[in-house]
Structure 1
Amino acid sequence: MVNLRKAAVIGCGFVGASSAFALMQSGLFSEMVLIDADHDKAEGEALDISHGLPFARPMEIYAGSYDDIADAAVIIVTAGAGQKPGETRLDLVKKNTGIFKSIMPEIAKRHCEGVMLVVANPVDVLTYTAVKYSGMPEERVIGSGTTLDTARLKYLLGQHLDVDPRSVHAFIIGEHGDSEIAAWSSANVSGVPLNDFCDMRGHHEHEAAMREIAEKVKNSAYEIIEKKKATYYGIAMSVVRICEAIVRDEKSILPISSMMHGEYGISGLSLSMPRIVGRGGSEGMVPIHLNEEEQEALRASADVLAGVIRDAVI
């Protein structure tokens, strides 16, 4: 039986540890197990985070093994090599698919009934790998996808328009990577079409501004990695947001990575589209409006991922 108050984090590097810390602060779970190939690392992170509990909410945090994941509501997989300066997410694919091919059979043995949330990069390829090797129903295997990219887009639009980014409704879709697409044709600010709102705020060079903002979103991770060698705080907060939607059965719409079955002419791979996220994981795709150019770019992004899957996974 699933324990809705329990999370498991597999991989205790920067992203895994930051996610565990953010989850502790969120109060969403009362039990969290940390698993790493280096058990001492998992123990150290569990101890360090636990020492902050007097300032937070009661929670049991401990280092464990794969046997401890069976009843977890969410299994968060961050294990894998990190992205280095000058390296793309897709450059990580062979190293991290190899790691996943060793982790997923261990998960399969435990017959988990919760939701697996893949966070390691390249997240779309690894989500597909997890579906293929974990034995879990594909709707319960999701990736963090472009949730963080979308947050970056909202943040930059909020700055550009001088409005609360929570009032901005826009998505990055496709690959979490260099072929991602800003879905401008469906973007709005509290129901007002984006270009109309830009005009209201005195911004009239729409095409140039959209190109600049989309490039900034795409290159955000590269900039951060160049300056501080890794990104982890933003993705940790994305993990918390997705976990909230799952354990609270919110039916929230988030741009997660999940398997495609003919939508927009794309099948047999995982990429990021807005989906309803609840206790069952991915509970259906939301068919946002995309113009012809965006649909073509989405299919091109899928082709990039399909080529990587053919070379590294199948």
Structure 2
Amino acid sequence: MRKYAIIGLGHVGAAVAFQLVSRGIADELILIDTNEGLARAEQLDLQDMQGRIDTRTIIKINDYSELADTDILFITAGNILAYKEKQAQGNRWAEFEYTKDIVQAIAPKVKASGFHGVAIDTMNPCDAITQYFQENTGLSRQQVFATGTFLDTARMQKVVSDQFDCDPKNVTGYVYGEHGESQFTAWSTVQVNGLAITELAKARSLNLDDLEQAARQGGWEVYKGKGYTSWAISTCAVKLSQAVLSDARSAYICSCYSEKYGTYIGQPAIIGKKGVEEVTELPLTVEEEAKFKHSADTIKEKFQTFEKQTN
């Protein structure tokens, strides 16, 4: 029995739920949202479609006690309207002010439920919020991680694949650091069809900084056009969860705890049944390592600000 739960049924949570049900990934799904009507509506909509798909998922709503034997918990709560308002005011850490309240509300309930599975966060600011959730639920750092720069890496793969006319899956390598402004592409890790992009860029006189900027811009174009992002981030979250349930021990980048820098941050890790099985420390250039440290310091600054706001 593959049992999933989702806390927060906004655009991302609903997209995760749709994928879990339509692809037959979840045998049982628990939907939790403060809006009872929304939770019931999503439950009914997903149930209605099951007469036209090849699998069946049992769907329940708003019962934290169901988390006791849940395998995977997605934390996808947020407030997109408040985020847009803060953005208009030029607040760089716009989502901090209300995601902290969400975590404060749900963490004790998750802890009280007896949940002992793996939790995957998509909330923002991703890295700092994930650390706060982990500390306040008492779950291990192994059990709690976030999508982090998994999506940013996919955006990089898309831009590079467009440039080299290949499948995005033929582009390997990682975007490291904060799921935010201090992230960076570690070009020393990137290959296209098995060839180092640094050498390919020289041969084509390509500016890798331009490619990195294009990858960042792509995410903003989605947000500006739709008012939110959903499909790509939900796909990232579901893919990570499948690595857990199948004990795949897959090498993915995600936001997990760095012992070296003392914070959650986007870095490569091995994902298996326990969550983060191990962190993979790839050799970075001196410049990339400096960027990684800067990003870690930025996240820690955010986290310290967060703690001051909640104390």
User: TM class by shorter-chain length?
Assistant: over 0.9
Q: Which residue of 1 aligns with 2:168?
A: 165
Is residue 282 of structure 1 aligned with residue 276 of structure 2? yes
Which one of the candidate residues 111, 114, 120 is aligned to 2:114?
Answer: 111
Q: Which residue of 2 aligns with 1:42?
A: 39
SS of the residue corresponding to residue 171 of structure 1 reads: strand
Superposition deviation, residue 196 in structure 1: 3.4
Task: Supply the AA of the counterpart residue of 2:39.
Answer: A
Once the two structures are superposed, the pairs formed by residues 201-280 of structure 1 within 5 Å of their partners are 204-206=204-206, 208=207, 210-262=208-260, 266-267=261-262, 269-280=263-274
SS of the residue corresponding to residue 128 of structure 2 reads: helix
Q: Which residue of 2 aligns with 1:128?
A: 131
**Distance change (3 Å), C-alpha of 1:173 and 1:29:** same
In structure 2, what is the Cα distance between the partners aligned to 1:283 and 1:292? 27
Superposition deviation, residue 88 in structure 1: 6.9
Q: Which residue of 2 aligns with 1:146?
A: 149
Once the two structures are superposed, the pairs formed by residues 161-200 of structure 1 within 5 Å of their partners are 161-198=164-201
Task: Supply the AA of the counterpart residue of 2:15.
Answer: S
Q: Which runs of 5+ in 1 are unaligned?
A: none
Equivalent residues of 1:93, 1:125 under 8 A apart: no
Equivalent residues of 2:187, 2:198 under 8 A apart: no
Q: Which runs of 5+ in 2 are unaligned?
A: none
**Distance change (3 Å), C-alpha of 1:257 and 1:46:** same
In structure 2, what is the Cα distance between the partners aligned to 1:89 and 1:144? 20
Superposition deviation, residue 301 in structure 1: 0.8
When normalised by structure 1's length, the TM-score is 0.92
Task: Supply the AA of the counterpart residue of 2:125.
Answer: P
Task: Supply the AA of the counterpart residue of 1:163.
Answer: C
Is residue 90 of structure 1 aligned with residue 87 of structure 2? no
Give the total of aligned pairs.
302
When normalised by structure 2's length, the TM-score is 0.93
In structure 1, what is the Cα distance between the partners aligned to 2:92 and 2:59? 30
Identity among equivalent positions (%) equals 27
Superposition deviation, residue 75 in structure 1: 0.4
How big is each residue's C-alpha offset from its partner over 1:191-237, in whole Å with a ceiling of 9 and x where there is no partner? 321133456xxx6223x2x1112112223332222111111111111
How big is each residue's C-alpha offset from its partner over 1:134-168, in whole Å with a ceiling of 9 and x where there is no partner? 11111100111111111111111111100111111
